Amino acid sequence: MDYDFKMKTQKERTKVEDLFNYEGCKVGRGTYGHVYKAKWKETSDGKEYALKQIDGTGLSMSACREIALLRELKHQNVITLIRVFLSHTDRKVFLLIDYAEHDLWHIIKFHRAAKAAKKQVVVPRGMVKSLLYQIFDGIHYLHSNWVLHRDLKPANILVMGDGPERGRVKIADMGFARLFNAPLKPLADLDPVVVTFWYRAPELLLGARHYTKAIDIWAIGCIFAELLTSEPIFHCRQEDIKTSNPYHHDQLDRIFNVMGFPQDKDWEDIKKMPEHHTLTKDFKRSSYSTCSLAKYMDRHKIKPDSKAFHLLQKLLLMDPNKRITSEQAMQDAYFQEEPLPTQDVFAGCPIPYPKREFLTDDDQEDKSDTKRQQQQAAAQQQQQQQQQQAQQQQQQSQLQAQAQAQQQQQQQQAQQQQQQQQQHSHEPNSKRVRLSGPGGGPQPNQQVHPGQQQQQDFHQQQVAAAAAAQQQQQQQQQVQAQQMMFNQQQQNFQQRF
Amino acid sequence: MAGNFWQSSHSQQWILDRQDLIRERQYDLQILTEEEYQKVFIFFANVIQVLGEQLKLRQQVIATATVYFKRFYARNSLKNIDPLLLAPTCILLASKVEEFGVISNSRLISICQSVIKSKFSYAYTTDFPYRTNHILECEFYLLENLDCCLIVYQPYRPLLQLVQDMGHDDQLLTLSWRIVNDSLRTDVCLLYPPYQIAIACLQIACVILQKDSQKSWFAELNVDLDKVQEIVRAIVNLFELWKDWKEKDEIQMLLAKIPKPKPAPQR
């Protein structure tokens, strides 16, 4: 290699540490490496970036794939690669990407902790729907470009915090992502086992050798269920992630315990699965005769006649050939039903979740079960302080409320009325205050449902009507408040256009 | 990204302008004639091909490696990095990107050594001089110079579709596939989108096989026929050059002539 060429490129090359402050700002640790929260040194715009330092030295195959794919992908719901830094002296690779303050793993953890402490988290009624819609939007983009994610799980679904892209989903961690149009090797040969067990589709657990779009769809179904209930639907004792055998008895048992054992007609090709003989040896259909997804979700207060449940059922079909595509999912009735999905998943409301904390080097963020429980206790404490005000609000945890039956609301009516009075006496409606504040509104929306524009007029009429009838039942007021909120946000949206 | 070519980095950054290419090569073309320059690249395309075959790589990976190689020198003089070092580096990077599974560093080096000795002894009288650390260092420089654009679209997939559309013909597919391989010895992969290259290669194959009946099929294609003709000309020129070229007699002289990297000054 030419000396002058080396010197010249060395001079032109900017070092990541010269451009960015990130020391002591580690916010994440994964199998891939460390993630730091970084800010420009020179400019003081305060814009935050995530700097991902890839583990090990040099260009691993997964680093290569991640760079190659992210360099090409451009979608508002897929993380953007801004720049790659190569540190020649220590052979380290850094990726500069969007900084997202939140992710579904932390969000769900927060809700779990709140649930355990019988606290309520105030979020927009349509938040789960908005999250899910944007996940599908991003995955549809990946799938139509023949890219499979293959490692979808809550930790990989990021959500932008306050800022120009507030409340926008970003699908991340594409290290495992593969092109699947004419793969040069059977995809299963590269990493035998890649998707975290809980989100792994049954065909993978039965030894499927080719990854498909349907595998990502199953994982989204799992995430959807977890968003609705705050519990991982196929929770199972975790073992070593890198086992070479895809067959996993306990995980299958867990799936059957929730879903029931598949009938022959439900999944005809199950007989062709490589591990089918092990399956028939290890499992008896009769052990799961009383199990069904409807029962499971009903136990978690998701009614089997709700649109949310109907969609979930189509995502969590055991037969991969029957699972719906991301495109079909985006057309689902669930997304046409109010509340409609919003571009800002927080719909302009204050974000109740804490910001990422900095990690020290020995404080590894372990996502195993035991650690989860410890963290949960800690999170509860933290949350208690943050939620003291919020808990008084009559609007219950809307993450669940959107699917909760009205019946239940009525039962709680008396109690809520009390709370409401309290709230009105010494606390302004924080949501509305925030909504009118600067920067709180949603972004110009290219992806929101086409029906939304028409819906808007409808809303305004309703609000006017509701405003005229001030002294109605509490339940109606609740609806009204939500619609007001939605409407303000719509107006805001219109102004921005 | 097998998705949309028009939104790819290949389309947006790496379809180069011919004038631009000539300008970038000015330094090297003061030392080599244009024909000699092309012959050097034919030789190294062969080196990459043989290395790839020895490593049992698929043609797609070999083609990607060759395009990396050509892209690097589209922006750099031959002096900057010894092409004998860059060739295996391109293979290494392409095999990672094209998901072929990892080639171990030691295997790559030993294949380089044996290939230079057994297949290219007419060009190199000394052993393959590089080690793993050279290749890994070079890989970073390559990635930088490619501006991290690693996904390369190749003419093979559009070719398959075109042949299918024409009414599948094995003989035609085999020949046009080979012509696509040959096209890697020209600059067309730097200048034209892959589907145009596929059409041009198919057209040449039809002429060779005297499939006159396909003329109407070509006429109905919605494609810039001038561009296709430019590609055809470039590939036919290659065949002409090949006909009279005695590579084994000339290559040592050519390799001696190319500008060489200067090592770091001794301290």
Mean pLDDT of A37-49: 82
Give residue A245's pLDDT. 73
Lowest mean pLDDT among A149-158, A435-444, B175-184: A435-444
Of A437 and A60, the structure prediction assigns the larger pLDDT to A60
A114 with A166: CB under 8 angstroms?
no
Which pLDDT value is given to residue A184?
42
In this prediction, residue B74 carries a pLDDT of: 97
Domain architecture of chain A: domains with CATH:
8-98 (3.30.200.20), 103-359 (1.10.510.10)
Mean pLDDT of A30-37: 79
**Between residues A433 and A2, the one the model is more confident about:** A2
Chain A: give the shortest CA distance to residue B224, in Å.
26
> What is the sign, positive or negative, of the torsion defined by CA atoms of A136, A137, A142, A144?
positive
Q: Is residue A185 scored above 70 in pLDDT?
A: no
Side-chain-side CA neighbours of A186 within 13 Å: the count stands at 7
Which of A23-32, A302-311, B67-76 is predicted with the least confidence, judged by mean pLDDT?
A: A23-32
Count of helices and strands (H, E) across chain A: 20, 11
Give the pLDDT confidence score for residue A43 in this predicted structure: 75
Is A315:A329 a contact under the CB 8 Å cutoff?
Answer: yes
Question: Which residues of chain A make contact with B99, given a CB cutoff of 8 A?
Answer: 61, 65, 178-179, 183-185, 190
What's the one-letter identity of residue B111?
A: I
Mean of the pLDDT values across residues B120-145? 95
- How far apart CA A154 and CA A171 sit, in angstroms, is 10
pLDDT in tens, A315-360: 999 999 999 999 999 999 999 999 999 999 999 999 999 999 888 7
Please give, rounded to a whole number of angstroms, the shortest distance from the CA of B185 to a CA of chain A. 24
Tokens of A424: 């009105």
Q: Note if A90 is an active site residue.
A: no
Please tell me the predicted confidence (pLDDT) of residue B36: 94
Check whether A193 has a pLDDT greater than 50. Answer: no
**B93, B65 Cβ separation under 8 angstroms:** yes
Model confidence pLDDT, tens digit, residues B36-57:
999 999 999 999 999 999 999 9
Looking at the predicted structure, is the pLDDT value of residue B2 above 70? no
Report the pLDDT averaged over residues A5-20: 87
Instruction: Identify from A1, A10, A54 which residue to disrupt to test chain B contact, counting B C-beta atoms within 10 A and taking the largest count.
Output: A1
Question: The domain spanning residue B47 has which CATH number?
Answer: 1.10.472.10
Average confidence (pLDDT) over B86-103: 89
Establish if B267 belongs to a structural domain.
no
DSSP state at residue A78: B
Band of the pLDDT at A112, cuts 50, 70, 90? very high
State percent of chain A over pLDDT 70. Answer: 66
- Domain of residue B44 covers 16-151
Q: pLDDT at residue B34 above 90?
A: yes
The stretch A177-201 carries a mean pLDDT of 55
B115 domain residue, yes or no? yes
List A98, A103, A137, A151, catalytic entry = A151
A69 and B151 within 8 Å at the Cβ level: the answer is: yes
| The pLDDT of residue A382 | 53
- Three-state SS for B123? coil
In the predicted structure, residue B234 carries a pLDDT above the cut 70: yes
Mark yes or no for CB contact B264/A181 under 8 Å: no
Is residue A311 predicted with pLDDT exceeding 80? Answer: yes
Chains A, B: CB contacts within 8 A come to 108
Report pLDDT for B119: 94
Which residues on chain A place their C-beta less than 8 Å from a C-beta of chain B?
1-6, 9, 13, 58-61, 64-65, 67-69, 71-74, 84, 86, 88, 91, 144-147, 178-179, 181-185, 189-190
The mean pLDDT of B1-22, rounded to a whole number, is 88
Give mean pLDDT, residues A380-388: 53
Strands (E), A172-282: 178-179
CA distance A343 to A228: 19
A52 is in an annotated binding site: yes
Average pLDDT (A422-433) is 37
Q: Which pLDDT belongs to residue A415?
A: 53
Q: Where are the beta strands (DSSP E) in A230-371?
A: none
Asked if residue B206 is part of any domain, the answer here is no
Own/partner contacts of B220-227, CB < 8 Å, gap of 24 or more, are B223/B195, B223/B196, B223/B199, B224/B196, B227/B192, B227/B196
Residue B54 in domain: yes
Helices and strands in chain B: count of H runs, count of E runs: 15, 0
Residue B79, pLDDT score: 95
Task: Write out the two tokens for A68.
Answer: 């190659």
SS3 of residue B168 by DSSP: coil
Average pLDDT, chain A: 76
Beta strands A48-54 and A147-148 are unpaired
Q: What is the ipTM of this complex?
A: 0.92
Contacts of A89 (CB under 8 A, 6+ apart): none
Question: B227 lies in a domain?
Answer: no
> In the prediction, which pLDDT does A158 show?
95
Q: How far apart are CA A72 and CA B14, in angstroms?
A: 13
Task: Sort strands A26-29 and A102-103 into parallel, antiparallel or unpaired.
Answer: unpaired
Residue B105 domain-assigned (yes or no): yes
Helices (H), A316-394: 326-330, 333-336, 369-387
**What stretch of H or E contains B111?**
helix B105-118
A303/A132 Cα distance (integer angstroms): 18
Contacts with B93 from chain A: Cβ below 8 Å: 59, 64
With tokens 């002539």, the residue in question is B257
C-alpha angle A467/A473/A475, rounded to 5°?
Answer: 95
For residue A147, which residues of chain B lie inside 8 Å, CB to CB?
1, 3
Indicate which of A184, A185, A189, A191 best probes the interface with B, i.e. most B CBs within 10 Å of its own CB.
Answer: A184
Residue B244 within a domain: no
pLDDT, tens digit (0-9, with 9 covering 90-100), for A265-290: 999 999 999 999 999 999 999 999 99
Q: Is B266 within a domain?
A: no
> What is the reported pLDDT for A176?
59
Q: How far is B150 from chain A (nearest CA, A)?
A: 5
The count of structural domains within chain B is 1
Region B82-91: what's the mean pLDDT? 97
Q: Average pLDDT in the A478-490 region?
A: 42
Task: Return the closest-CA partner of residue A221 out of A175, A258, A276.
Answer: A258
* Minimal CA separation from A286 to chain B, in Å: 43
Mean pLDDT is lowest, of A48-57, A236-245, B166-175, for A236-245
Question: Which chain B positions have a beta carbon within 8 Å of A181's beta carbon?
Answer: 2
User: What residues in chain B have their Cβ under 8 A from chain A's Cβ atoms?
Assistant: 1-4, 7-9, 58, 60-61, 76, 79-82, 85, 93, 96-102, 134, 136-141, 143-144, 148-151, 157, 261-265
Q: Which residue has the tokens 């985006």?
A: A330
Distance CA A346, CA A161 (A): 9
Which tens digit of pLDDT belongs to each residue from A61-92? 888 888 999 999 999 999 999 999 999 989 99
Residues 6+ apart with CB under 8 A from A235: A198, A254
Provide mean pLDDT across the span B5-33: 94
Residues with Cβ within 8 Å of A428's Cβ and at least 6 positions away in sequence, in order, are: none
